[in-house]
Structure 1
Amino acid sequence: MADKAEALTTGSDTDGADGGGKASPCHVAIIMDGNGRWATMRGRPRLFGHHAGARRVREIVQACPDLGVKYLTIFGFSTENWKRTQIEVAGLMSLFRSYIRKEARALRDSNVRVRFIGDRPGLDQKLRELMDELEEMTEGCTGTNLTIALNYGGRDEVARATKRLAHDVAAGRLDPESVDEETLPKYLDTCVLPDPDLVIRTSGEARISNFLLWQSAYAEYEFIDTLWPDFTKEVFAGVLENFGSRDRRFGGAKG
């Protein structure tokens, strides 16, 4: 399968354009936080901030090719976000449906391959249909790989993957003695994606909020004060530049 072959090319790329050999992350994951606070600071309802955040997604996706980012994963709605008010949740679901309708053609024309991860049965049928259609529409795209996490939680993902693995063991399709740390990722929602090199969280919060728990074991983290609606291409480029100066040893000693 082409996706799986491509996903084997993990880790950072080396940008040799300037001869400096600076590393740029192949896969960046972003926890897009601060939409509500951004709106409140302006005396507007929280959903106003979410709409501003959705517009910012377009700019960041468009910036990825120039910045050397091949895979971008964004945290759209968590399994814990259902605890928010009914008005906000309903507004977010409406925003997701609207975003897919408005952006589908532009994403395809920009050669962006879109995937969704998360517990789909927990979402409404119309939204699931739109997600399926967008994935199918962009299946042949070979540019930026955009993954959108909706109704996603890292622990929930691992639990669902473990259940599928257990079914295969029970059915005799998988030898339990062969299960190792390379086995479970094949059952995760992200099975065709490389692990993230860099995880960014906006808005000044310094927690990972149940996002890509397994996949981010060796990712670099960047927690920045910028609220998501203010996260411009220039801010993104600055964060990537900081990543390029880090020494990633993956448990090994320097030198």
Structure 2
Amino acid sequence: MFNKMKLWNTSKEKEIYGERIDKILSHPIPRHVAIIMDGNGRWAKKRTLPRVAGHREGMKTVKKITKSANRLGVKILTLYAFSTENWKRPKPEVDFLMKLPEQFLDSFLPELIEENVKVSTMGNIEQLPASTVKAVKEAVERTKNNDGLILNFALNYGSRSEMIAAIKHLSHDIKNGTLKEEDIDEQCFSQYLMTDSLGDPDLLIRTSGELRLSNFMLWQLAYTELYFVDVLWPDFSEEHLLEAVESYQNRSRRYGGLIGEEI
């Protein structure tokens, strides 16, 4: 149940948000929400701050949106935290980004446990620094029995490399006889992807105004509802999340077919 008390500070806001949340909760909530968290560097530049300040502020937004999504009833929240292309950034920035998961989980893990959130990851995390891997694996282990929102971090993740790895794995299984070529279909291929246990996102949100997918879950997003917003990630609020969910609820998901009078 969404905790409406955390959204308002005045009686007027209570009146507005109370009716609004009730309406949102009366319609289907996206089961799996994925977010491309973009704009940390630009947020810092606008304030003449170093880029790392934007990443630090962005982590505060992760905490806020995770709690809000959990209260709304979202089952899975996948956050694009570090892509395979991000290694190309300046070394000081990459070094800082590698420390962020450890700092974030160290301060936020008790709250995640209290909120019954389960942490998971996808991507080649073994290629990350040992201290980062240790922090991530500890968070996964300590929350493995939680059955609330799944907070899934895409770390050192790239969709093209994911699909290539899936094809190699699939090819290997054909060669050793555990899979027949005629059994390969979309469902079969999806089982070889990192999201096998999560399912495809219902809603993708990208912040900062950029209109591209940036090598993020290209297979999984085939029929996902896309929502682009000009707001930089550190400024993304509970209000913006509600607007994204409302936009999702006002769309007709056809999956390539027709519905209603158009059939």
Indicate whether the TM-score tops 0.5: yes
Aligned-residue offset at 1:199:
0.4
The match for 1:209 is: 214
SS at structure 2 position matched to 1:183: helix
Alignment identity in percent? 45
Q: Which of the numbers 234, 248, 252 marks the counterpart of 2:253?
A: 248
Q: Deviations over 1:180-200 (max 9, x none)?
A: 111111111111002100100
CA distance 1:138–1:20, change in 2 (3 Å): closer
The yes-or-no answer on 1:174 pairing with 2:174 is no
CA distance 1:104–1:19, change in 2 (3 Å): closer
The yes-or-no answer on 1:102 pairing with 2:142 is no
The more displaced of 73-82 and 95-104 is 95-104
Distance (whole Å) between structure 1 residues aligned to residue 169 and residue 238 of structure 2: 39
Q: Which of the numbers 76, 82, 104 marks the counterpart of 1:77?
A: 82
Q: Which runs of 5+ in 1 are unaligned?
A: 1-15
Q: What residue identity is the alignment partner of 2:145? A: G
1:19-34 alignment, distance < 5 Å: 22-34=27-39
Residues paired across the two proteins, number: 240
The yes-or-no answer on 1:141 pairing with 2:146 is yes
Indicate conservation of the 8 Å contact 2:52/2:93, yes or no. Answer: yes
The match for 2:236 is: 231
Q: Deviations over 1:49-108 (max 9, x none)?
A: 000000110000101133231111000000000110001000100112211222222211
Q: Which of the numbers 112, 132, 138 marks the counterpart of 2:137?
A: 132
Q: What residue identity is the alignment partner of 1:178? A: D
The yes-or-no answer on 1:90 pairing with 2:95 is yes
Q: Deviations over 1:105-137 (max 9, x none)?
A: 221121001100001232122211222211111
Distance (whole Å) between structure 2 residues aligned to residue 124 and residue 20 of structure 1: 41
SS at structure 2 position matched to 1:195: coil
1:50-61 alignment, distance < 5 Å: 50-61=55-66
Aligned-residue offset at 1:247:
1.0
Indicate conservation of the 8 Å contact 1:113/1:145, yes or no. Answer: yes
- The Cα RMSD (Å) is 1.7
Indicate conservation of the 8 Å contact 2:118/2:150, yes or no. Answer: yes
Q: What residue identity is the alignment partner of 1:143? A: G
Q: Deviations over 1:207-243 (max 9, x none)?
A: 0101111111100001100000000111111111111
The match for 2:5 is: none
Aligned-residue offset at 1:18:
4.8
Using the size of structure 1 for normalisation, the TM-score is: 0.90
Q: What residue identity is the alignment partner of 1:116? A: T
The match for 1:7 is: none
Using the size of structure 2 for normalisation, the TM-score is: 0.87
The yes-or-no answer on 1:192 pairing with 2:185 is no
Q: Larger radius of gyration, structure 1 or 2?
A: 2
Q: Which runs of 5+ in 2 are unaligned?
A: 1-20
The match for 1:157 is: 162
Indicate conservation of the 8 Å contact 2:119/2:152, yes or no. Answer: yes
* Runs of 4+ residues deviating >4 angstroms: 16-21
Indicate conservation of the 8 Å contact 1:22/1:245, yes or no. Answer: no
SS at structure 1 position matched to 2:196: coil
